[in-house]
Structure 1
Amino acid sequence: MYQQGSDTSNEFREVIRKEMNKRIGPENEELKDFIIPNWSPGCRRISPGDGYLEALVQPNVQPVFSGIKKVVADGIVTEDGVLHEMDVLVCATGFKVAFRPAFKVVNGDGTTLDDDWGKGPNLYLGLSAPRFPNFYTIVGPGATWSNGPLLPSIETSVEYAVKMMRKIQKEHIKSLDVKQEALDDIYAHFDEFHKTTVWQEECRSWFKDGKIKNRIYLWPGSTVHFLKTIKEPRFEDYNIRYRYKNRFAFLGNGEVKANTVKGDYKGLSTYVQNSDHEWSIE
């Protein structure tokens, strides 16, 4: 559906157009021109919900198509100079996906995440930011926001962060921060992939950081494709700094956990197997 000009996309677009016309009903042409999209389904997050269009054409509802100029004591003045009197003003303008945490994030050089990102997000696989070691996010920019179910992506992102933490603990690592060159490469792939998707059409979307034309911060593939990609961390994409001068200091005294537990014979022989399966030693 998200491939621009595909049969599925075109058919879905026609279905949506007909359904919106049906729900708005005859006449109301100005409303139809204003609210029925001229881009493919999915360019923006698909909405509205049931009952929304029907509500706009009720006799006690007056859609206003001009932007708001200012709020005054008696109501709202729109850009066309008309005063719309009202008793109650309900602000329901949606939400802003700023791609940045609500709290300040500062790296060891004293640079904030806001300053480092400058004009746009700079996040590897929706998970990790260059120059911000040991900092992980859950389905950030570049993850699967519109490609399928989000919950599996959240769960696998958490598992990814836990795997990074375990490596830090076990190998006496001081910090892990993703290389900028790795992020540059994945973003280059993003840009190439999205040349043929509906998201690159001229719609303003938070998939594009609230802009009409911008990099598309959506995973270039399906949710399952994303899960497969982040299931195991690519440590070659990270700068690794160790706590000690020798990176193998974590080898310690040459013992394993089973050596310290009396009678733990199984722990000493996990490599013995009757079938081909994964094994590990604590």
Structure 2
Amino acid sequence: MDIKHSEMILEVAIVGAGFTGLGAGIQLKRAGITNFRIFEQAAALGGVWRDNRYPGLCCDIPSHLYSYSFAPNPGWSRRYAPGREIWAYQQRCHEQFGMGSFISYGMEVVAATYDEQAALWVLDFRSGEQARARYLISMSRGLSLPQYPKIEGIESFAGAAMHTACWDDNYDFRGKHVAVIGNGASGIQAIPQLAKVAASVTVFQRTPSWVLPRKDRAYSALRKVLFRWLPGAQRLHRLQLFLTQELIYPALKNPGGIMHKALTWLATTHLNRTIGDPVLRQKLTPNFAVGCKRVLVSDDYYPSFLLPHVSLQTTAITGATENEVICADGTRHRADVLVYSTGFKNIGDMPFAITGKHGKTLAQVWGQEPAAYLGVVTAGFPNLFTVLGPNSAFGHQSALFVIERHVNYIVRCIRHAGRKDWRSMDVRGDVQHDYNEMMQQRFKGMVWSGSCPVWFKNEGGRIVTNTPDSGFGFWRRLMRPNFDEFVVEQTRDERPTSGARYARAASE
């Protein structure tokens, strides 16, 4: 990091240059706030779309919906874009909005501490450098930290091993015996591709998932030209996709209603039409309601089990040897390589310590029951904004939709605080408490309530990740901040340097 930046006080510090950090930076700049810096630990932007490279990687939300509304891409190749194309889209946004001078690469944040006396966030980097900022924006990040299962004897395994989120591009799967542990969103994309080259693929399934047909298709050249020259047509297509995704919400809201029955019929029909073997079909049939866990989409996952060299194991793994995976029924399965498709850690798991008022860390305050107001601000952590925080994930809408709603809310807060010369703003504890209790009440009767075995519940059964809102409801809730809900402190003498000064320094 340039020494000029370490000596000055930023208006805003942003951690990470994925969709969240990039979007926050673009919207701040568009709002006229240029005294900000995005700190990225890697050597390139992109976040999960930079890091994830497993075969078959693509988005499970339609491409025209999985993009910024202010930066439409008329050239998406397919209804569901592959991962490298999404990464390329991020790079185009970076260039289009001139974000190059605002990103510092190779800057890994190891701690962020709120200085109560100065009302500033102090960021410590692994390099030993520091930065100070009035406001801090960070993704909660728990959902980007890979989760690994505990397997007895795994240290003796002599073959290769990789998580789908940490893929080894140099490993040659041709002719190998592949053991895939888990069948989540990444697994159902990678398994069909691995089956094309491997000698055998053994899928170790703990719990089956409901899978809907993806119905993926390429966009025609004519359609792409139409979107390019008639932007209104593309916006209309995006709205149609949003409304289609929104149709899933009534099924989640009312598991006994007609929309849930329709969704169940679609999922079971997709399974029954593909898998004729009743034994295999039973193994792939979940014992919980559709929508209880994340509904996946795929056209080629079920057909991969019809191949003679692909098998499904549903008995729990009890151990591993040098070249085998051992199951509870005593069976041993040869493996040259282990592929973990076991998801990510919970939202409460933070990649670095964030310490707020009175020396309390965010991890301590959230504990087993992460709670924030609107998923964005947490009492006791002034001027801290988290994107995709507690109770803000959807079971049916795009994560980019959430990111934009959160970022727009944050930018409005920062602009208003600047106009009022506020030194700090901290959401009131009673507001946060009442909001989160209301959220939990609204979950009652939804498909996730009761005994639904979802990972986004804590040990006490409290839903801590998803929101009970529809897309429209979430949009309305985040539309305009209510500043009566904050405890504010007026500005003293020490203030952030001007945006003009920072803009000059950043370009040098």
Pairwise same-fold verdict (TM > 0.5): yes
**Inter-partner Cα distance in structure 2 for 1:55 and 1:203:** 28
**Inter-partner Cα distance in structure 1 for 2:286 and 2:323:** 33
User: How many percent of aligned residue pairs carry the same amino acid?
Assistant: 27
SS at match of 1:239: strand
Q: Partner residue of 1:128?
A: 377
Q: Deviations over 1:28-74 (max 9, x none)?
A: x2x33333123222211111522111212321112111122222112
The amino acid of 1:226's aligned partner reads F
Q: Partner residue of 2:271?
A: 20
Question: Could you list the runs of 5+ residues in structure 1 that have no partner in the other structure?
Answer: 246-282
**Inter-partner Cα distance in structure 1 for 2:338 and 2:466:** 35
Q: What TM-score do you get using the length of structure 1 for normalisation?
A: 0.78
2:303 aligned with 1:54? yes
Q: CA deviation at 1:10?
A: 1.5
Q: CA deviation at 1:111?
A: 1.2
Q: Deviations over 1:161-195 (max 9, x none)?
A: 11221233232322211122112212222222211
Q: Partner residue of 1:213?
A: 461
Q: CA deviation at 1:80?
A: 2.6
**Inter-partner Cα distance in structure 1 for 2:423 and 2:287:** 52
Q: Mean Cα displacement is larger for which, 146-155 or 17-26? A: 146-155
Q: Deviations over 1:113-140 (max 9, x none)?
A: 1111121211111111111111111122
1:92-241 counterparts in 2 under 5 A? 92-209=341-458, 213-215=461-463, 217-241=465-489
- Note if contact 1:203-1:212 (Cα within 8 Å) is conserved in structure 2: no
- Note if contact 1:174-1:241 (Cα within 8 Å) is conserved in structure 2: yes
- Alpha-carbon distance change, 216 to 199 in structure 1, aligned in 2, over 3 angstroms: farther
Q: CA deviation at 1:216?
A: 5.2
- Note if contact 2:380-2:426 (Cα within 8 Å) is conserved in structure 1: yes
Q: 1:40 aligns with which of 289, 295, 298?
A: 289
SS at match of 2:299: coil
- Note if contact 2:424-2:488 (Cα within 8 Å) is conserved in structure 1: yes
**Inter-partner Cα distance in structure 2 for 1:115 and 1:175:** 22
Q: Partner residue of 1:254?
A: none
**Inter-partner Cα distance in structure 1 for 2:306 and 2:449:** 32
- Note if contact 1:149-1:223 (Cα within 8 Å) is conserved in structure 2: no
**Inter-partner Cα distance in structure 2 for 1:85 and 1:147:** 38
**Inter-partner Cα distance in structure 1 for 2:274 and 2:344:** 26
2:257 aligned with 1:6? yes
Q: CA deviation at 1:229?
A: 1.2
- Note if contact 2:369-2:464 (Cα within 8 Å) is conserved in structure 1: no
Q: 2:319 aligns with which of 57, 67, 70?
A: 70
The amino acid of 2:479's aligned partner reads K
Higher relative contact order (CA 8 A, sep 6+): 2
Q: Deviations over 1:226-247 (max 9, x none)?
A: 11111111112212122359xx
- Note if contact 2:371-2:464 (Cα within 8 Å) is conserved in structure 1: no
Q: Mean Cα displacement is larger for which, 110-119 or 87-96? A: 87-96
The amino acid of 2:261's aligned partner reads N
**Inter-partner Cα distance in structure 2 for 1:116 and 1:69:** 35
The amino acid of 1:162's aligned partner reads V
SS at match of 1:105: strand
- Note if contact 1:43-1:203 (Cα within 8 Å) is conserved in structure 2: yes
Q: CA deviation at 1:212?
A: 9.0
Q: Which has the larger strand fraction?
A: 2
Q: What TM-score do you get using the length of structure 2 for normalisation?
A: 0.45
- Alpha-carbon distance change, 188 to 108 in structure 1, aligned in 2, over 3 angstroms: closer
Question: Could you list the runs of 5+ residues in structure 2 that have no partner in the other structure?
Answer: 1-250, 494-508
**Inter-partner Cα distance in structure 1 for 2:482 and 2:320:** 53
The amino acid of 2:473's aligned partner reads H
- Alpha-carbon distance change, 203 to 77 in structure 1, aligned in 2, over 3 angstroms: same
Q: CA deviation at 1:16?
A: 1.2
- Note if contact 1:106-1:112 (Cα within 8 Å) is conserved in structure 2: yes
Q: Deviations over 1:192-247 (max 9, x none)?
A: 221121121433324425x69332543232112111111111112212122359xx
- Alpha-carbon distance change, 203 to 33 in structure 1, aligned in 2, over 3 angstroms: farther
- Note if contact 1:124-1:142 (Cα within 8 Å) is conserved in structure 2: no
**Inter-partner Cα distance in structure 2 for 1:226 and 1:102:** 27
**Inter-partner Cα distance in structure 1 for 2:354 and 2:419:** 26
